[in-house]
Amino acid sequence: MSLLKCPNESPEKILKLFDEIYLKTRIFYLLKTALDLNLFDYLNDFKSAEDLADMLNTNLTLTEYMLRIFTELGILESCVKYNDNTTYRNTETANIYLKKGSKFSIINPISYYFENIKNWENLIDILKNKDNFSKTNTNNFFPEVVKRMADECKCWELQKVLNYISKYEEFKNAKKLLDLAGGHGLYAIGFSMLNKNLKCYVFDLPNVVEETKKFIEKYNAKNVSTIAGDFYKNDIGNDYDIIFTSYNPGGKNPNIAKKVYNALNNGGLFINKQFFSEKEERIEDYLNNMEWNFSKPAGLEKSRLRFTFKGDLNFNDYLKYLENLGFKILEVVYIPELLGFKDNSPAKMIVAKKL
Ligand SMILES: C[S@@+](CC[C@H](N)C(=O)[O-])C[C@H]1O[C@@H](n2cnc3c(N)ncnc32)[C@H](O)[C@@H]1O
């Protein structure tokens, strides 16, 4: 009887796979819930599970487990008192990044995961819709993206990049800088703080520079102005000593590189920080590339690989193109190395000098 005979292979592999994934998924939703409850805003000081359950109006047993799990994950730390009552508080990392009111709150960038996961829950619709899937309207898309990116970059990358570039003599002597597709403008604002003689311009789409202006005002950046335009169609200005650009859709495009070359003074620097997604070899790459292909923002012609657009050059061809234009490549900085931690990012910063 087939009931008495085991199948040819055990289900171990399948069950382990689901167990591992289910474990991580539950933690994902636990973190989401904690952020929805502003849990970390309550945990500057040690509190017991009872205190917290009272404050948050949540179930005591579940609250206690949640606190224990976050302690195991290194987000909270615990202290056992003489009466065996355990209390919990934020670790330094949670204090810095996970509180809503923190200067370096990373909650807004993280909320992107919670938004994106909804696409995976509806994957069947996206898959079956073939080419008619979600057409994002770029009108609202970029002004929202840049607010999130401002919160994200100011949590580490911004300072690392500014500090790195400020070592260049060309930067110290520069008078005019362009932050091309600068969005929030925090890079330009930071550069203007590091070199008081520098006049900085943030070039971006008209509806995005309205957001840039708010950041310029917030940081009282007197030497930073905006230029509204579309870098594919409009003039980007000229006589720049430095053109900086970060994660913009034209960052691998030869025509934009040519515009940059023409807009720079001789001896000027082109600093271009971009994702160069070339390898497709890990599950993460396949997943990221799938996600990239979920939507088609109006006005942008995406290519198949994440963060690539029609007409983009790959990394080596882009470098060759810059050299043929008349740039000397001074260095290529690997962003994970600059950040000091591996974040699976294929980002690189090219520093090129117009000869
Ligand atoms: C991913 S954001 C990067 C923002 C910022 N540079 C950073 O690294 O945090 C891409 C930026 O490119 C801008 N952008 C996209 N298409 C553009 C175009 N055709 N002309 C000018 N700016 C554009 C967007 O408005 C947005 O500010």
18 assigned to some structural domain: yes
Measured from the CB, is residue 208 less than 6 Å from ligand 1? yes
Question: Residue 37's closest CA among 23, 12, 57?
Answer: 57
For residue 204 and ligand 1, the question of a CB distance below 6 A is answered with yes
Does 343 share its domain with 269? yes
**Domain check: are 139 and 241 in the same one?**
yes
Strands of the sheet with 47-48, listed across from one edge: 47-48, 86-90, 76-80
Residues 321, 188, single domain; the answer is: yes
In DSSP terms, which residues pair with 328 in a beta bridge? 353
Determine if ligand 1 sits within 6 Å of the CB of residue 230: yes
Ligand 1 atom with the smallest distance to the CA of 273 is: 8
To the nearest whole percent, how much of the chain has pLDDT over 90?
89
Q: Report the pLDDT value the prediction gives residue 16, as an integer from 0 to 100.
A: 98
Give the Å distance between the CA of 226 and the centre of ligand 1. Answer: 13
Residues 85 and 143 in one domain: no
Is residue 36 located within the same domain as residue 147?
no
Ligand 1 site-directed mutation target among 248, 301, 310, 339, most atoms within 8 Å of CB: 248
pLDDT(275) > 90: yes
Could you give the CA distance from residue 13 to residue 24 in angstroms, rounded to a whole number? 17
- Identify whether 285 is part of a domain: no
Could you identify the atom of ligand 1 that is nearest to the CA of residue 179?
6
Domains of the chain: total: 2
Give tens-digit pLDDT for 40-60. Answer: 999 999 999 999 999 999 999
151 and 29 both lie in a single domain: no
User: Distance between CA 181 and CA 251 in Å, rounded?
Assistant: 9
Predicted pLDDT at 138: 56
Do 147 and 271 fall within a single domain? yes
Residue 246 near ligand 1, beta carbon < 6 Å? yes
Nearest CA to ligand 1 atom 7: 246
Last residue of a domain, one of 105, 121, 148: 105
Residue 8 lies in a domain: no
> Is residue 136 over pLDDT 60?
no
Residues 95 and 233 in one domain: no
Ligand 1 near 191 CB (within 6 A):
no
Overall pTM surpassing 0.85 (yes/no): yes
Question: Is residue 57 assigned to a domain?
Answer: yes
Let me know if residue 129 belongs to a domain. Answer: no
Range of weakest confidence among 94-108, 147-161, 330-344: 330-344
Segment 91-112, tens digit of pLDDT:
999 999 999 989 999 999 999 9
Whose C-alpha lies nearest to ligand 1, atom 25? 142
Mean local confidence (pLDDT), 151-165: 97
- Among the residue ranges 122-136, 274-288, 306-320, the one predicted with the least confidence is 122-136
Domain interval for residue 237: 135-277+307-354
Domain identity same for 34 and 141: no
- Asked whether 153 lines ligand 1 (CB < 6 A), one says yes
Considering the domain architecture, whether residues 228 and 318 belong to the same structural domain is answered as yes
- For the stretch 208-253, pLDDT in tens is 999 999 999 999 999 999 999 999 999 999 999 999 999 999 999 9
246 domain-assigned: yes
Residues 96 and 140 in one domain: no
Same domain? 209 vs 95: no
To test ligand 1's pocket by mutation, which of 137, 140, 144, 146 has the most ligand atoms within 8 angstroms of CB?
A: 146
Q: Is the pLDDT of residue 65 over 70?
A: yes
Q: What span, in angstroms and rounded, lies between the C-alpha atoms of 247 and 131?
A: 26
Assess if residue 217 is contained within a domain: yes
- Residues 99, 40 contacting (CB under 8 angstroms): yes
pLDDT tier at 132 (50, 70, 90 boundaries)?
Answer: low
* pLDDT band of 140, cuts 50, 70, 90: confident
Q: What's the rounded Cα separation, in Å, for the pair 346 and 330?
A: 19
